[in-house]
C-alpha cells in the first residue's frame, strides 16, 4: 500500500499532507474492497472466486487494490491487457493472471516472461496460439466461447468441434473455458438461462477443464451459474451489480474543494450558456472539479442535450446536506447550490463529496445518464489519492 508522504513547507518548517489541500481527492477504502470480495466469495459457494482488476482496478489503482485483493485471498485475477498483467504480477507473485484481450503476434515473450494466461477469443487467436506452443514449451491458456453476447468468443459450434478434435496438439492445454452473460444485471431476463444452457454444453464438452460463466451479476443468479470459478468486478468496488439491488460496501469517495462561495441574486444565471436562472437569492459553492477529473459534463444541472428528458442533474454532499449542481459542469469547475446549508456548516476550503457514502456511486452515475463503471474508470489523474485499510 502506498503511504501519503508529508511534504515540508520550507517557509515555516511545518509539514503538511498534500491530501488535505488537494483540489480533488479520492479516498479508497481497501478494507471495504477486501470485505466486498470476501462477500462475493461467500456468495459463490463452492466455486473459487477471482478478482477482476482491469482498467487500473476500475480506476481505483491496480497496485493498491491488487495487493489488497491478493492479501484477502484472491489467487485468480482478470486484466484487460498484458501490460496490466505484468504490473499485477509484482504484487501477486503466485496468482494466475488471465488477459481478456488474448494474445497477438509479437507478444509471446511478454506473456511467457510474466507468466500470463491469454484468453483466446477468436479463430485467429486460436490459430496463432497453436503455432506458438508448437515451437515452445506448454503454457496455459483459456478459451472464451460466445453464448449469445456477440462480442468476444469462439462460436459455440466451433468450440464444441474443438473439444472433439482428436488432432489438436497435445501441448494445447486450456485451464479454463469461459463465457459472459449479457443480461445478468436483469434477474427477470430469460436470456441468462438460454446462455446458461449453451454454456453447460461447453462445460460438459471440455470435461476436466474448469469453467467460468459469472461475473458480479451472475453470482447473484444462483449456484447453477457459478461453475468452478466466478469473476466479480463492479460489486467488489462498491457498485451496483444487479438493477435495483443494494450494492455492497462503498469503496471510493471522491471530493472536490470549495474555492469560492459567492452570493447570487434571484434572476441571475449560472455557468456557461446561462442555462440555469436562479429563482431565489442564493449562495453558490464553486468547487475545483470538472470533466477533466471524470466528473462528467452530463452531470450538469442543465443545458446538456444528450441527457434531454432525463434527470435534473447530480447532487453533492456538504454540511450534512445534499446540494444540487447548478448549470453546466465545466472542464475544471462545477457550481453547487449551498443555499440550504447553514452558513456555519460550510466555508471556503471545505470539501464537497461528489460520490461516496452519502452520494452513492450509481446515483451519481445515473444523474449523468451513465453507470457506475464509467464514473469510476473516468477518474482523472489530478485526484490526490489516499488508501486506507481495515486497520486505519
In tens, the pLDDT along 93-130 reads: 999 999 999 999 999 999 999 999 999 999 999 999 99
Which pLDDT score, from 0 to 100, does residue 171 have?
A: 81
Which pLDDT score, from 0 to 100, does residue 15 have?
A: 72
Q: Are 328 and 297 in contact (CB under 8 A)?
A: yes
Which pLDDT score, from 0 to 100, does residue 2 have?
A: 41
Backbone angles phi, psi at 196, to 5 degrees: -60, -45
Task: State the Cα–Cα distance between residues 200 and 252, nearest whole angstrom.
Answer: 37
Residue stretches of the annotated binding site: 151, 331
Which pLDDT score, from 0 to 100, does residue 205 have?
A: 97
Which pLDDT score, from 0 to 100, does residue 4 have?
A: 43
Residue stretches of the annotated binding site for substrate: 151, 331
**In order of start, what are the domains of the chain with their CATH numbers?**
44-230 (3.20.20.10), 252-388 (2.40.37.10)
Which pLDDT score, from 0 to 100, does residue 14 have?
A: 63
Core vs surface per residue 158-196: b (16+ CB within 10 A) or e: ebbebbeeeeeeeebebebbbbbbbbbbeeeeeebeebb
Which pLDDT score, from 0 to 100, does residue 135 have?
A: 86
Which pLDDT score, from 0 to 100, does residue 180 have?
A: 98
Below-70 pLDDT ranges, the chain? 1-14, 300, 302-311, 390-392
Any idea which residues carry the catalytic annotation? 54, 272
The pTM of the full predicted model, rounded to 2 decimals, is: 0.92
Which pLDDT score, from 0 to 100, does residue 1 have?
A: 41
Amino acid at each position: 500500500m502506498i503511504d501519503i508522504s508529508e511534504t515540508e513547507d520550507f517557509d515555516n518548517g511545518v509539514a503538511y499532507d498534500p491530501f488535505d489541500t488537494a483540489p480533488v481527492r479520492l479516498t479508497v477504502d481497501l478494507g471495504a474492497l477486501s470485505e466486498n470480495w470476501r462477500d462475493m466469495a461467500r456468495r459463490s459457494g463452492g466455486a473459487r472466486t477471482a478478482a477482476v482488476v482491469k482498467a487500473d482496478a476500475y480506476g481505483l489503482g491496480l497496485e493498491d487494490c491488487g495487493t489488497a485483493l491478493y492479501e484477502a485471498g484472491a489467487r485468480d485475477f482478470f486484466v484487460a491487457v498484458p501490460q496490466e498483467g505484468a504490473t499485477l504480477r509484482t504484487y501477486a507473485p503466485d496468482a494466475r493472471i488471465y488477459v481478456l484481450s488474448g494474445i497477438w503476434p509479437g507478444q509471446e515473450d511478454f506473456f511467457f516472461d510474466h507468466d500470463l494466461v491469454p484468453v483466446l477469443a477468436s479463430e485467429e487467436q486460436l490459430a496463432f496460439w497453436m503455432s506458438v506452443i508448437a515451437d515452445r514449451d506448454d503454457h496455459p491458456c483459456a478459451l472464451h466461447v460466445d453464448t449469445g453476447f456477440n462480442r468476444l468468443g469462439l462460436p459455440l459450434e466451433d468450440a464444441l468441434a474443438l473439444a472433439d478434435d482428436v488432432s489438436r496438439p497435445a501441448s494445447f492445454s486450456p485451464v479454463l473455458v469461459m463465457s459472459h452473460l449479457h443480461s445478468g444485471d436483469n434477474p427477470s431476463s430469460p436470456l441468462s438461462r438460454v446462455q446458461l444452457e449453451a454454456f453447460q454444453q461447453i462445460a460438459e464438452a471440455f470435461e476436466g477443464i474448469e469453467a467460468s460463466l459469472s461475473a458480479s451479476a451472475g453470482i447473484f443468479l444462483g449456484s447453477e451459474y457459478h461453475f468452478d470459478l466466478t469473476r466479480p468486478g463492479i460489486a467488489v468496488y462498491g457498485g451496483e451489480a444487479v438493477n435495483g439491488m443494494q450494492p455492497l460496501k462503498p469503496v471510493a469517495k471522491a471530493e472536490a474543494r470549495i474555492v469560492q462561495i459567492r452570493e447570487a441574486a434571484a434572476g441571475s444565471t449560472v455557468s456557461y450558456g446561462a442555462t440555469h436562472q436562479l429563482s431565489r437569492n442564493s449562495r453558490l459553492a464553486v468547487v475545483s472539479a470538472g470533466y477533466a477529473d471524470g466528473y462528467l459534463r452530463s452531470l450538469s444541472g442543465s443545458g446538456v442535450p444528450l441527457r434531454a428528458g432525463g434527470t435534473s442533474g447530480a447532487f453533492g454532499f456538504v454540511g450534512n446536506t445534499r446540494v444540487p449542481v447548478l448549470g453546466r459542469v465545466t472542464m475544471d469547475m462545477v457550481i453547487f447550490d449551498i443555499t440550504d446549508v447553514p452558513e456555519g456548516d460550510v466555508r471556503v476550503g471545505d470539501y464537497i463529496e461528489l460520490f461516496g457514502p452519502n452520494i452513492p456511486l450509481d446515483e451519481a452515475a445515473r444523474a449523468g445518464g451513465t453507470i457506475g463503471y464509467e464514473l469510476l474508470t473516468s477518474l482523472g489523474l489530478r485526484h490526490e489519492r489516499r488508501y486506507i485499510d481495515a486497520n486505519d
